Each structure stands twice: as C-alpha cells, then as structure tokens.
C-alpha cells in the first residue's frame, strides 16, 4: 500500500535530504515556490521551499521500511503525533502538484492584499511604531498610503506594506 508521510528536514537541508532519500529508493515530493525578494535594492525571484523544513515521502508499506528515513542525512525525522506517524492524504499531494506551473515545476505565490479603503491598520516599525491609521490606497506593489492623525492633523503617509498590520474594517 502506497502512503505519503510528512518528513522534517534539518534547517536548509531539504535538497540534501531529497538526494539521500532518493538514493535509498524512496519517492520524494519537495514542493518549491518562486519567491520575490529584495536584494541590493532590487526585486529578484528566488526559489525556495513552499514548506521550509518539510517534504513528503511516498512509501510502499509492503516493501519499504520507514525506520531508515530517521537516520538519513539531512532528515530530522518523520513527523508524528505521539506514537502515530502523520499520513498525508493522497488528495493533498495531488492538489499541490496540480497547482504547479507546468513549465517550471514551481509554485508561484501571489501577494493578495486584504487591505481595502477604510480598513484600520497599525504601524509596526519605524518612528510611527504603534500608531493606528486608516488604509487609503496602494502606492505600487510594495507600498501603501495610510491616513494618520498626527498632532491633531490628518496626514497621508506612505509605508512599506510589510510594516502595516491589519486591525479591522470601519
């Protein structure tokens, strides 16, 4: 019987774990994604794990043992709750594989904003740390304009989107 198991890898050890598990004859699925990161002031694509520190292993329970996986280089162990190993439903793996870009074999994560005009937000970094304001609009892909009440006056201030926390809608 074929079953998928969740495997925990050592930090940044997914590639090493995949190589060593495949060398032992296991089928491994390592979902990876294209992530947009800022490097030297420029936005670049970087390939990283969709689930950092985890990958999936398919085991034929009639012919393969799960115990050797725990001592494989790059692997911390098979994820379990108590004494029971986590069996990942086949449909979960199929759904992940169906969402992969057919040309690259990678997932592409979209950055969907939940901020709408009138949403109350809190600033979490910089000199405005802790202040609350009202979301006005997006100012490009990575910046937002927030209406702040500073010294009794309303002012529209531009912030990086990652320095704003959602509070509630008005």
Q: Please name the fold of domain 119-169.
A: SH3 type barrels. (2.30.30)
pLDDT > 70: percent of the chain: 91
- Summarize pLDDT for 62-97 with one digit per residue, the tens: 899 999 999 999 999 999 999 999 999 999 999 999
Mean pLDDT over the full length of the chain: 87
3-state helix, strand, coil in the chain (%, to 5): 15, 45, 35
Higher pLDDT, 89 or 140: 89
Among 123, 113, 116, 115, residue whose Cα is nearest residue 149: 123
Asked whether 131 and 148 are in contact (CB, 8 A), the reply is: yes
CATH of span 2-108: 3.30.70.940
Among 78, 160, 69, residue whose Cα is nearest residue 121: 160
For the stretch 107-144, what's the b/e string if a residue is b when 16 or more beta carbons lie within 10 angstroms of its beta carbon? beeeeeeebeeebebbbeeeebeebebbbbeeeeeeeb
Residue 114's pLDDT band (cuts 50, 70, 90): low
All CATH 3.30.70.940 domain ranges in the chain, comma separated? 2-108
Indicate the pTM of the whole model: 0.64
Residue 153's pLDDT band (cuts 50, 70, 90): confident
Task: For residues 151 and 37, give the distance between their C-alpha atoms in angstroms, rounded to a whole number.
Answer: 36
Task: For residues 85 and 79, give the distance between their C-alpha atoms in angstroms, rounded to a whole number.
Answer: 6
Residue 109's pLDDT band (cuts 50, 70, 90): low
Confidence (pLDDT) at 113: 57
All CATH 2.30.30.30 domain ranges in the chain, comma separated? 119-169
- Summarize pLDDT for 41-52 with one digit per residue, the tens: 666 778 889 899
Residue 37's pLDDT band (cuts 50, 70, 90): low
166: pLDDT strictly greater than 80: no
Confidence (pLDDT) at 59: 95
Residue 79 DSSP class: -
């Amino acid at each position: 019987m074929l079953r998928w198991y969740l495997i925990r890898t050592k930090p940044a050890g997914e590639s090493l774990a995949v190589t060593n598990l495949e060398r032992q004859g296991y089928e491994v699925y390592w979902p990876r994604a294209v992530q947009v990161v800022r490097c030297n002031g420029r936005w670049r694509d970087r390939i990283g794990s969709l689930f950092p520190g985890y990958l999936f292993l398919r085991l034929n329970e009639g012919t393969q043992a799960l115990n050797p996986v725990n001592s494989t280089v790059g692997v911390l162990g098979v994820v379990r709750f108590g004494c029971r190993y986590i069996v990942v439903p086949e449909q979960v793996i199929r759904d992940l594989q169906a969402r992969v870009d057919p040309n690259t074999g990678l997932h592409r994560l979209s950055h969907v904003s939940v901020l709408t005009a009138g949403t109350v937000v809190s600033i979490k970094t910089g000199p405005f740390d802790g202040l609350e304001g009202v979301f006005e609009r997006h100012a490009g892909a990575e910046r937002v304009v927030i209406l702040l009440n500073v010294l009794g006056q309303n002012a529209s201030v531009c912030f990086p989107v990652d320095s704003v926390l959602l509070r509630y809608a008005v």
